[in-house]
């Protein structure tokens, strides 16, 4: 109603001015005043407008850091609602499906965009994109994630690829290299396969290799339930199950939509993941992504698997003890990959990689129930200006990783929020290599993607806890995936899934 009254007022003013301009100047009551005409646009365009932003807890600092400036410039107010990572999908879905209009903006996983767009929960942003002057700076792999049926439904805020970290003072130590080769029969170097990752983690567990007076660990990963665990697990599973040259082979059989979560590649990945527990601290089975990052940069771990967050957090002198000691590697691959079409393992002479774009990056969308979409767009676009986006990806703790061409220019990092002492060139190159790899795997992007991942998480947790065997846990997960597919509609899910991989209907 306020918007209607505002436009009525503007229209009345415009008609009044038009009548004044057309009237005879001899009419005293129509003499134009010499004082300046008031601007139709207020100095602060969103004065009194409140926008509520729902965001996963990891990403909240990457939003809050820009709120004061936007509020001062526009007169609007931003209320940030932080939602625990593991609850984000269910909280958003509940709010959207109820029509409650709790949130104006949602910042969430790229792989949920088709789900929310198809249901009409979020707005197409096509009418706003002509205003955006830095769209072509976004990497194509990140642009693709936001489209549904040719329409853009979000602004990318982040680039996600899961890769590896290693301690240089461990793997590049000549003494340790000699001892490792004596024990395992090959040279110590950043791991190319998950078997090598296992050997290195085993070798560096239980002794004081960093000379701090206490025993150290071989690796650190987030294995805890209801957090990022499924994405870390799927990084392993991709190496064994995402068959090179067979797009769409990772999550489902693209011809039948039968879930692949219980195939031998997934089972091997889960057994690997369970085996790795003994090379990290006992509490690692409870760690979420935040726990992993904070502890890894505090020291004592030879290897780690995460998004790009560990890299930038390791450069924070207030929280990191490993600044100047960290290197990077592409998520390990495998020489043996399960072929779902033959039901057999195929052996390759070279290592086959399948870098995983887990989570797909944080994206911002405007809820269909938002009463002030112009203000909402203005805020999320402000977060994504070239300058602000670069500030965010180079600030520790924002959970925003490089996603624009301009952010992959190493020289620019000389002006970043922290001084990068661990070869920013290599840090950026590993991410770019993963994002552009011919066998890079997008996250699951079909309606109810969050439900599929939650189901997988439930059974992974039981296997990690020793309550189910890897085979039984993944069989149960696959059955639940097939049930979700049937509930949503097998044919419609197949059509969306195949289109994501450029496969014919």
Q: Looking at residues 224-233, what average pLDDT do you find?
A: 97
167 and 150 in a single domain? The answer is no
Provide the pLDDT for residue 34: 37
pLDDT tens column, 338-382 = 999 999 999 999 999 999 999 999 999 999 999 999 999 999 999
Residue 152: pLDDT band with limits 50, 70, 90: very high
- 11 in a structural domain: no
Structural tokens at position 414 = 């000389």
Within 8 A by CB and 6+ apart from 138, the residues are 156, 403, 404, 405
DSSP state of 157: -
- Long-range contact set of residues 64-70: C-beta below 8 Å, sequence gap at least 24: 65/391, 65/392, 65/395, 65/398, 66/382, 66/383, 66/388, 66/392, 69/382, 70/378, 70/379, 70/382
> Does one domain contain both 121 and 261?
no
238 touches 213 (CB < 8 A): no
CB count in 10 Å sphere of residue 39: 7
pLDDT tens-digit series, residues 275-310: 999 999 999 999 999 999 999 999 999 999 999 999
Do 327 and 369 fall into the same domain? no
Residue in the block written with tokens 């090598």: 196
Confidence of residue 227 (pLDDT cuts 50, 70, 90): very high
pLDDT over threshold 50, residue 111: yes
Q: Is residue 16 part of a domain?
A: no
Residue 22 lies in a domain: no
Residues 209-235: what's their mean pLDDT? 97
What average pLDDT does range 416-431 have in this prediction?
94
Q: Are residues 155 and 172 in the same domain?
A: no
DSSP-H helix ranges across 75-122: 88-98, 113-118
pLDDT band at 19 (very low <50, low <70, confident <90, very high): very low
Q: What is the pLDDT of residues 92-101, one digit of tens each?
A: 999 999 999 9
Q: Phi and psi of 310, rounded to 5°? A: -60, -40
Predicted local distance difference test score (pLDDT) of residue 43: 84
State both tokens at 208.
């004081």
pLDDT given for residue 6 in this prediction: 35
Per-residue confidence band for 42, with pLDDT thresholds at 50, 70 and 90: low
CATH number assigned to the domain comprising residue 496: 3.40.190.10
The answer on pLDDT for 417 being more than 90 is no
Q: Are residues 483 and 385 in the same domain?
A: no
Name residues whose C-beta falls within 8 Å of residue 462's C-beta, 6 or more positions apart in sequence.
468, 473
Q: Judge whether 22 and 50 are in contact, CB under 8 Å.
A: no
According to the 3-state scheme, what is the secondary structure of 384-396?
A: CCHHHHHHHHCCC
Same domain, 275 and 348: yes
CA distance 430 to 332: 12
My answer on whether 184 and 125 are in the same domain is no
Residues 6+ away with beta carbon under 8 Å from 306 = 162, 163, 165, 221, 222, 232, 289, 292, 293, 296
Cα separation, 114 vs 244, whole angstroms: 25
d(CA 398, CA 392): 6
Percent of the chain with pLDDT over 70: 92
Work out the mean pLDDT of the chain and round it to a whole number: 92
More confident residue, 155 or 9: 155
Residues 402 and 454 in one domain: no
When computed from its CA atoms, the radius of gyration of the chain, rounded to whole angstroms, is 26
Domain coverage including residue 263: 163-354+441-500
| 63-80 confidence digits (pLDDT tens) | 999 999 999 999 999 999
User: 123 and 146 in contact (C-beta within 8 Å)?
Assistant: no
Give the Cα separation of 450 and 440 in Å (integer): 21
d(CA 387, CA 397): 18
pLDDT of residue 41: 56
Is the pLDDT confidence value at 470 over 80? yes
pLDDT at 28 over 60: no
Which phi and psi angles does 267 have, rounded to 5°? -65, -45
Q: pLDDT: is 9 or 77 the higher one?
A: 77
Residue 112 resides in a domain? yes
CA distances in angstroms from 259 to 141, 318, 447, 481, listed in the order given: 25, 45, 15, 6
- Answer yes or no: do 209 and 172 share one domain: yes
Q: Answer yes or no: is 432 within a domain.
A: no
Asked if 336 and 345 touch (Cβ cutoff 8 Å), the reply is yes
Helix (H) or strand (E) holding 23: none
At which of 421, 454, 472 does a domain end? 421
Mark whether 203 and 139 lie in a shared domain: no
Residues 380 and 487 in one domain: no
In a domain, 368, yes or no: yes
Q: Is residue 486 part of a domain?
A: yes
pLDDT tens track for 167-191 = 999 999 999 999 999 999 999 999 9
- Same domain assignment for residues 334 and 372: no
165 or 417, greater pLDDT: 165
User: Percent of the chain, pLDDT > 90?
Assistant: 90
- Predicted confidence band of residue 393 (pLDDT cuts 50, 70, 90): very high
**Assigned domain for 181 exists:** yes
> Does the CA dihedral 275-278-284-289 come out positive or negative?
negative
The CA distance from 328 to 433, in Å, is 12
Cα separation, 367 vs 350, whole angstroms: 47
DSSP 36: P
Total structural domains within the chain: 2
């Amino acid at each position: 109603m306020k918007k209607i009254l505002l436009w009525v007022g503007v229209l009345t003013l415009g008609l009044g001015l038009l009548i004044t301009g057309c009237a005879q100047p001899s009419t005293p009551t129509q003499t134009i005043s010499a004082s300046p005409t008031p601007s139709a646009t207020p100095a602060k365009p969103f004065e009194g407008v409140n926008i509520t932003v729902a965001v996963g807890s990891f990403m909240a600092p990457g939003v809050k850091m820009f709120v004061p400036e936007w509020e001062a410039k526009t007169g609007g107010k931003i209320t940030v609602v932080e939602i625990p990572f593991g609850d984000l999908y269910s909280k958003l879905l509940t709010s959207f499906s109820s029509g409650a209009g709790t949130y104006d903006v949602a910042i969430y996983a790229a792989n949920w965009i088709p789900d929310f767009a198809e249901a009409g929960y979020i707005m197409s942003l096509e009418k706003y994109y002509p205003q955006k002057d830095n769209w072509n700076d976004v990497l194509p792999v990140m642009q693709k994630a936001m489209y549904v049926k040719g329409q853009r439904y979000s602004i990318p805020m982040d680039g996600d690829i899961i890769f590896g970290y290693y301690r240089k003072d461990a793997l590049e130590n000549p003494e340790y290299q000699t001892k490792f080769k004596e024990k395992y029969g090959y040279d110590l170097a950043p791991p190319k396969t998950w078997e090598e990752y296992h050997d290195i983690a085993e070798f560096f567990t239980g002794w004081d290799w960093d000379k701090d007076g206490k025993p150290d660990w071989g690796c650190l990963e987030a294995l805890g339930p209801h957090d990022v665990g499924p994405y870390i697990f799927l990084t392993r599973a991709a190496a064994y199950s995402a068959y090179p040259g067979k797009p769409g082979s990772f999550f489902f059989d693209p011809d039948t939509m039968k879930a692949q979560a219980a195939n031998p590649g997934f089972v091997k990945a889960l057994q690997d993941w369970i085996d790795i527990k003994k090379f990290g601290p006992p509490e690692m089975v409870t760690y979420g992504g935040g726990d992993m990052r904070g502890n890894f940069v505090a020291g004592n771990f030879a290897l780690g698997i995460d998004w790009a967050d560990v890299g930038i957090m390791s450069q924070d002198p207030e929280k990191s003890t490993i600044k100047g000691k960290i290197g990077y590697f592409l998520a390990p691959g495998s020489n043996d990959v399960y072929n779902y079409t033959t039901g057999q393992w195929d052996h390759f002479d070279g290592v086959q990689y399948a870098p995983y774009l887990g989570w797909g990056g944080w994206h911002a969308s405007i809820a269909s129930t938002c009463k002030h979409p112009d203000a909402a767009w203005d805020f999320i676009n402000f977060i994504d200006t070239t300058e602000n986006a670069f500030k965010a990806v180079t600030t520790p703790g924002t959970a925003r990783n490089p996603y624009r061409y301009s952010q992959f220019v190493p020289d620019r990092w000389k002006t970043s929020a922290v001084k990068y002492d661990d070869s920013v060139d290599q840090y950026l190159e590993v991410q770019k290599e993963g994002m552009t790899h011919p066998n890079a795997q997008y996250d699951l992007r079909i309606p109810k993607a969050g439900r599929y991942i939650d189901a997988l998480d439930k059974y992974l947790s039981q296997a990690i806890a020793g309550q189910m065997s890897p085979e039984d846990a993944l069989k149960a997960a696959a059955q639940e995936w097939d049930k979700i597919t049937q509930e949503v509609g097998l044919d419609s899910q197949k059509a969306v899934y195949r289109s994501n991989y450029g496969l014919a209907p």
